[in-house]
Structure 1
Amino acid sequence: MTTLPIHSALPDLLSALRTHSRAVLQAPPGAGKTTVVPLAMLDAGLTQGRILMLEPRRLAARAAAERMAQTLDEAAGQTVGYRVRGEAKVSKSTKIEVVTEGILTRMIQSDPELSGIGAVIFDEFHERSLNADLGLALCLEIAEALRDDLILVAMSATLDAEPVARLMGNVPVITSEGRAYPVDIRWLDRPLPPKTRLEPALASLVEQAVSETDGGVLVFLPGEGEIRRTEALLKDRLPPDCTVHPLFGAMEFAKQRAAIEPAKTGRKVVLATSIAETSLTIQDVRVVVDAGRARRARFDPGSGMARLVTEKVTKAEATQRTGRAGRVAEGRCYRLWTKGEEGGLQPFAPAEIETADLSGLALELALWGAQPNDLALLTPPNPGAYAEAQALLRMLGALDKGNLITDHGRALAALPLHPRLAHMLAVAGPDAALLAALLADRDPLARSAPVDLSLRLSALRDLRGYADRHPHQANRGAVERIKAEAKRLARQAKPARTGGMSDAEMAALAYPDRVGLRRKGDAARYVLSGGKGAVMDDHDPMAATRLIVVTDTDGNPREAKVRQAIQINEAELRGLFADQIGWVDNCDWSKRDRRVIARRQERFGALVLDDRIWKDAPPEAIARAMLDGVRDLGLVPSPAAKRFIARVMLVRDDQNGLPDMSDAALMESLEDWLLPHLGGVKTAEDWKKFDILNPLRAMLDWDQMQALDRAAPAHFTTPLGRQIPIDYSGETPEISLRLQEMFGQTTHPRVGRTPLRVTLLSPAGRPVQTTTDIPGFWASSYADVRKDMRGRYPKHPWPEDPTQADPTLRAKPRR
């Protein structure tokens, strides 16, 4: 047997497991941990039960099991077997079972003691999938409460080991030094120019790598689209002996196997997604070409939609990829970035629990009877995202109002589907199996196909007939895979709870928050029942459809682009959600119309199915809506209201209890002081005519008004007995009046101790003098004013001694 770097770490690992039953194993890519450790644990007789090893991907699980079986000169399914979704090769003699991560959760939920399982190995734990995090947390709880003999191992090449070791109870960390073979890393000499397309740049680097090296070449790209475009570019650029093999998750297993097997002749170039990063030795590979990009799912809890984003790889991912070149011989890695750019890479990718849809996790925890903080999760879920997930489960009937699991929720948890699709299958029965399998998989039609979901179903039900009727060719392999999965789901589904449903009704069961109603005046834009927006290509045949169910989007949180949808008619919608459709009375301020609009609307979520004028809307509702109009239009105080506000603001520091009448404070408290007075105000024009003086005065009680009048009187009474409003808006209280009206005034008017600023006006109303000392004006400047004014206004009195004259607003009587 070939000696691999991992062998030197086996004694310490086995010793740690004998003494602690738990350990964290760090081993570089190519060290051999995936295929050596389980067999070493079996040979050491650490447990009488089966050894369960988790792999993040089906291809890796099959490959690891087959490699270990080959080591034992057996076929998979004897001592070493595997179980993945839809396929199992195990027998009574199986001692090591390699499974995908979600299977462990199902095993635990059905048998919390994990009967017959002696050890659980979490391989490639650095990928931090949601299922792996949950599986480890559940296993730790089982080990503490039920199975102190359960052995647990977390393994990875690029794992930040210390936090995992603490989580598992401060267990030993075993490190295997050195990869199988050294790898020479080559970077770009200079950064790629901005807006450089990935595929041509990568194709050139692959061409260079092939010309400079020997052996198989593994090229890492973010997704299938980039793989297909790069494959096309390489078609005529590589030597004749080079065979190009795509490798991605949605491929048929036979084609995946062809990509990882040794080349029969010549050289092999494998164009792969991150599926080839871990737990998978691709035969004959000596060279890695890394595009430096990874595709990740990002889920927006607010919209309930996920989208795929392409990001730079992390340092850990780059290390994993580089290690693929040193699995079977000395290798070389070409990186599509400069050495300087490497410093800007993030250390690790975010854990899936930080970015994924948490509804599946929330359902599993509800079934387990726990909250996130009850379990040893390495990264706790975001509380807001978790609450959104629970809200979806309540909408589906999987949780009750107290977020406890219902019988329906238990039925959903037993199905190998997202809770949405499980709900559809549980309610609609086996008839929904084909649609569930389709929605759980990749689109089997070309990207250029219209969004209509019924086209996909037609292709699945009659591929030959579909091909005859439509130019959008279906992927035959994808069709067969989906149909096979549909058969499995149909066998698991229970009879329908209701009569036969249309495809649209079944889709609406899964996506009740994504029923779309076309916006008026825009044939391609929709409002969804959950409140979000969606848009379709104008030229798509479904763009003018009134009601649709959106089953796939690009996940844009502002306005998602529709990628799949199906038409639903209003009768189907009403029949399906009769208990959720009802009339809502609305009084709202319309910015466009600048008025309060009162309407009665029949709604399903955010969708308005019928809209009528609300003729007898109560005044209270209209007034409350008008408050939004005031917030839109702003306060426009009359001159009297401005003076009142100024008086209050002048003395409020000295008068305890007077309200704050600043603009900000008044706008913030509109509901308290303005709402009771808004009767009859419905439009911007009404508001323009409305005087807020009385509502402002109503904010003060009788005692406060008396105190205000004493401290800052509203008027000055002239010698004629006429009341002149005092303006408090400036630094000094001020009045303006005709000079003749102050005849006989021998003292200067004051507000408290503050002299009023008096502007004396000519008979024509023009300022003549501004003073804060009327007696001083009479004694000094008046004579000059009299001399000037007598000539201009000879018909008005200009006595030599104004202190002895009678005040007047009239001209001299005619002789």
Structure 2
Amino acid sequence: MNSLPVCDLFDDLKSALNTHNQLILEAPTGAGKSTALPLALLDWPEISGRIVMLEPRRVAARSVARFIASQRGSALGGEVGYRVRGDSKVSKDTRLEVVTEGILTRMIQDDPELSGVGLIIFDEIHERHLTTDLGLALALEVQAGLRDDLKIMAMSATLSGLPLHELMPQAAMLRSEGRSYPVTVEYAAAGGADYLEQMGRVLLELASGKRELPPDIAPGTVLAFLPGKAEIERVAGFLRERLSEQAFAICPLYGELDAKAQDLALGKDAQGRRKLVLATNVAESSLTIDGVTQVVDSGLVRQASFNPRSGVTRLGLKRISQASAIQRAGRAGRLAPGLCIRLWSQDEFERQMKADEPEILRSELVTLALEAAAWGARSFAELKLLSCPPRVNEKLAWALLKDLELVDEQHKLTALGRTAHTLGCHPRLAHMLQKAKLLGVSLNDANLAPLACVLAAILEGRGLPRRGADISQYLLWAQSGEAASQARQWLGKLNLSADLAAVARAAHPHDCGLLLALAYPDRIAMARGKEGFVLANGSGLTVDESDAMALESMLVAADFGEIEGRSAGRLWLGAPLDVRLFDGPLAFLKTERDVSGFDEGRGRFVAERQTQVGQLVLSRQTLAQVPAELRASAWIARLRQKGLGSLNIDEAAEQLRLRVTLAATLLGGDWPAMDDESLLENLESWLGPYLGEIKSLEQLAKLDLGRILRDSLDWQARTKLDEALPTHYPMATGTRAPIRYEADGRAMLRVRLQEAYGMADTPLLADGKLKLTMELLSPAQRPLALTGDLASFWQGPYQDVKKEMRGRYPRHLWPDDPANTLPTKFTKKKTLGQA
């Protein structure tokens, strides 16, 4: 341990700890920052108090704590321990505690002064887990307001793209060289083949020796990176059918595995077999896996992304970033020269994202909002977060907490919210647990709250067996292991006791539906024939046809995900729901709404009073009279669906739209947009007041759109429009010549040629910014010429027009000098007689 590169920084670190309370350490993979440094810190006088080290992953937390404890020669849970969700090895003697999964946040919320803690270490902070970002934000606030002696150290394999210096500008910066051997990188793209089959073939070639290794690379442990448990199991099955169990140990490694199975993957094989470790991205950093000299990387990760439109999380395969690929490859060079085989092309690598997207930018933020409210923050902007989350995701998070009655309008915790926070589960489940306790009392059902605890344990559990989508099929599974332990913890927090096995036996599927509806009211679903189900939030849902849940008329979707390429989500876990519950304990979810629509077949309006749960309609009652506001809203809905074609957009209306559009371009100022899209978007404001008494399509078509659009402008705008871009131009003869505006921005003045005599040049509009295009007419109102330059027209083309027209219209004036002739709208005789 003393030979690791980070040891060269120990003197600098001691000096920095004496002068700074914030430190940032950049140390590449293999430097020893996760093991050698915390091991040494236990003996440094510069640290007074306990050391808490945050590891983003459970597997890494256990492994690091176990390794450091062994180096100290002490039992795990003594001087060195760990705490992860559902598992803890700590005691009153623990001085170094490795924690994860929000444990640090809970420690700070329970004891804001962090009594007895001298140093908090944030390891692998570059991975940008949401819980890490929140823990750092709270720790910095504790340091700034309550504990100026508290020391904070942020450690990262790379600082590239990580704005730590902005959040901790006074921190001491230290860098350690990594210790790694050269890694040869080869590309073996699967092409059009299944990448899992390609993974299996490459691993088989490495294991059998058919794939020649570069010089100096020993055939040690092979580490394969795969997206998830299902892919690991498939590749493991492929290898077990083809490799000798006596010669090879095939070891899965993912977060759901128990500690014993994880140890098999991390340590030496007891039988001395060569190991093939099939891992998710839990193996990217912090973990030490024995003897790895070769890495085979699928280049993929299964990543969850929150969709604010549907309010659910989509699970999909994503290409990893370049930084992650480099991190994975580095695992092959920790002990000796290594080989990394990437199952994609080098061109694809060059096009990958440079670094991973922070989890806070793509996650549901409900739990973060509850933690913020518990801390006293009214918005995420009040927290010292490394990245600001999307505003829409934050807005949805606060809205859901309010719907669950956990915060008020000002985002302050309610009494229900304070209790929910102490339960330490997702806010939806916390709401269900508390409501179930109250409902159990009112319904005299002692099993209801204990059943809610079991359901919550299933929904937050790991490693569920595959027993279909009905959550009641997992009740017996939850009677043991981590799920049962978690259910009993929640029972204790609710001051209840129960025999979980008896609760499971007595549970009815509709009890499960009732309880899940308390947690997921927006995910109550109603069957819609062969198209699956529609949720109360408007999203679509499908159920596997072979699953009995597909036959239900109503259900609650507790766990479902959107799948890329599909418009509807797929149900993973839920429960059938009895519609009669909406006349009983779920009555508070019902709302009544009057709606109206146009019946195309009958050509008239219909209106009804709907009883709804979200967007689901439970019942309908026809209304004899259609209120004006409903009729207006129905017309608006129809126009948005059908477009503006049902309206009589005559020449007057079209001309007004063109004038307003031209005014916005030439005059500036605040003019309303009058294109089709904008008019449809703002129908309520400009057309809505005229629709309440319209009862037929014929009446709709008779609306004077020109007047209505003009009236939608205020008096100043109308006055300015008429002055700058008038509908008519006053000729010297007294004629008000019409101006026609065109879509290309031209303004056409249509007038008889004789009435234009005496005009030296073309008239200007819009404060001189628009020159009229003059359409000059014969005495019979036939077009003679089109010009935008009247002065040039008089000097040139007019002479040809005069020669031709003088013989056709001899009774009218055709002077040689029209620019200096008085205009007229009469014949030559009458004009000269007047003169």
The 1:503–1:326 alpha-carbon spacing in structure 2 relative to 1, beyond 3 Å, is same
Residues 732, 247 of structure 1: alpha-carbon distance in 2 compared, 3 angstrom cutoff: same
Separation (CA, whole Å) in 1 of partners of 2:259 and 2:673: 74
Q: How does 1:143-542 map to 2 (within 5 A)?
A: 143-160=143-160, 163-179=163-179, 181-188=180-187, 191-193=189-191, 195-210=192-207, 211=209, 212=213, 213-239=218-244, 240-265=246-271, 266-370=273-377, 371-428=379-436, 429-442=449-462, 444-446=464-466, 449-457=467-475, 459-460=477-478, 480-495=481-496, 502-519=511-528, 522-542=529-549
Aligned Cα root-mean-square deviation (Å)? 4.3
Contact kept, 8 Å, 2:581 with 2:587, in 1: the verdict is: no
Give 3-state SS (helix, strand or coil) of 2:413's partner: coil
- 391-400 vs 229-238, greater mean Cα deviation: 229-238
Is the contact between residue 181 and residue 335 of structure 2 (CA under 8 Å) also seen in structure 1? no
SS of equivalent to 1:561: strand
Deviation digits for residues 287-343 of structure 1, max 9, x if unmatched?
Answer: 222211122221123322112222122222223222323344443322223444332
CA 1:600/1:756 → structure 2, altered by over 3 Å: closer, same or farther?
Answer: farther
> How far is the alpha carbon of 1:502 from its aligned partner?
1.5
Alignment partner of 1:542: what SS?
Answer: helix
How far residue 442 of structure 1 moved from its aligned partner, in angstroms, is: 4.3
Question: Percent of aligned positions with the same letter in both sequences?
Answer: 37
Q: Do the aligned partners of 1:596 and 1:626 also contact (CA within 8 Å) in 2?
A: no
| 2: CA distance, partners of 1:663 / 1:96 | 66
Which residue of structure 1 aligns with residue 644 of structure 2?
634
Once the two structures are overlaid, the 10-residue window that deviates more, 680-689 or 542-551, is 680-689
Aligned equivalents of 1:408, 1:55: Cα separation in 2: 31
* Correspondences of 1:773-792 after superposition (within 5 Å): none
Q: Deviations over 1:553-595 (max 9, x none)?
A: 1235942222222111122234333234132111235678875
Aligned 8 A contact 2:66 2:76 in 1:
yes
Which position in structure 2 is the counterpart of 1:469?
A: none
Match of 1:615 among 614, 621, 624: 624
Structural mapping, 1:7-26, within 5 Å: 7-26=7-26
Tell me the CA shift for residue 78 of structure 1: 1.6
Gaps of 5+ in 1: 462-478, 654-658, 718-725, 736-746, 761-766, 784-802, 805-815
Give the residue type in structure 2 aligned to 1:489: W
Matches within 5 A, 1:666-745: 678=691, 681-684=694-697, 687=700
- Displacement after TM superposition at 1:634 (Å): 2.8
Quick one: which amino acid aligns to residue 484 of structure 2? K
For the Cα contact (< 8 Å) 1:524–1:543, is it kept in 2? Answer: no
Q: Deviations over 1:184-240 (max 9, x none)?
A: 22312x6432x3211111112212333244222111111011101111221233355
Query: What is the aligned partner in structure 2 of residue 743 from structure 1?
Result: none
Distance 2:583 2:362 in 1: 35
1:92 pairs with 2:112: no
| Greater C-alpha Rg | 1
What CA distance in whole angstroms lies between the structure 1 residues aligned with 2:319 and 2:699? 58
**Residues 637 and 691 of structure 1 are in contact (CA less than 8 Å); yes or no, is this contact kept in structure 2?**
no
Question: Retained in 2: the 8 A contact 1:647–1:712?
Answer: no
- Residue identity opposite 1:220 in structure 2: F
Return the letter of the residue paired with 1:224. Answer: K
Tell me which residue corresponds to 1:475.
none
CA displacement 1:752-802 (0-9 Å, x = unmatched): 999996998xxxxxx9x9999xxx99997699xxxxxxxxxxxxxxxxxxx
Question: What is the TM-score with the length of structure 2 in the denominator?
Answer: 0.77
Name the aligned partner's letter for residue 55 of structure 2.
Answer: E
**CA shift in 2, pair 1:602/1:759, >3 Å:** farther
Moved more, 122-131 or 614-623: 614-623
Shift of 1:602: 1.0
Query: Is residue 2:568 matched to residue 1:559?
Result: yes
Separation (CA, whole Å) in 1 of partners of 2:710 and 2:5: 87
Distance 1:615 1:749 in 2: 62
Q: Does the 8 Å CA contact 1:430/1:493 hold for their aligned counterparts?
A: no
Amino acid corresponding to residue 519 of structure 2 in structure 1: A
1:550 Cα deviation after fit: 0.7
What is the CA distance between 1:13 and its match in structure 2? 1.6
Counterpart contact for 2:647–2:701, Cα < 8 Å: no
Deviations for 1:325-372, whole angstroms, at most 9, x for unmatched residues? 334444332222344433222222111111111111111111111232
For 1:166 and 1:398, locate their aligned partners in 2 and report how far apart those are by CA, in whole Å: 33
**1:230-285 deviation digits (Å, cap 9, x = unpaired):** 11221233355011011111122221222222112221111011111222112233
| Displacement of 1:70 | 0.9
Q: Relative to structure 1, is the Cα distance of residues 336 and 165 closer, same or farther in structure 2, using a 3 angstrom cutoff?
A: same
Counterpart residue number, 2:579: 570
Q: CA deviation at 1:619?
A: 3.3
Give the equivalent residue in structure 1 for 2:83.
83
* Separation in 2, partners of 1:166, 1:644: 56
CA 1:644–1:603: 2 relative to 1, 3 Å: closer
Letter in 1 for 2:422: A
5+ residue gaps, structure 2, are 437-448, 498-506, 664-670, 743-747, 760-773, 786-802, 811-828, 831-835
Q: Which residue of 2 aligns with 1:798?
A: none
Secondary structure in 2 aligned to 1:502?
helix
Q: Aligned equivalents of 2:344 and 2:775: distance in 1?
A: 78
1:485, CA displacement in angstroms? 2.7
SS of 2:344's partner is: strand
Tell me if the contact between 2:77 and 2:89 (Cα under 8 Å) persists in the aligned partners. Answer: yes
The question of whether the paired residues in 1 share the 8 Å contact of 2:532 and 2:541 is answered with yes
User: For 1:576, what is the secondary structure of its paired residue?
Assistant: coil
The answer as to whether partners of 2:5 and 2:31 remain within 8 angstroms in 1 is yes
Residue type of the alignment partner of 1:488? Q
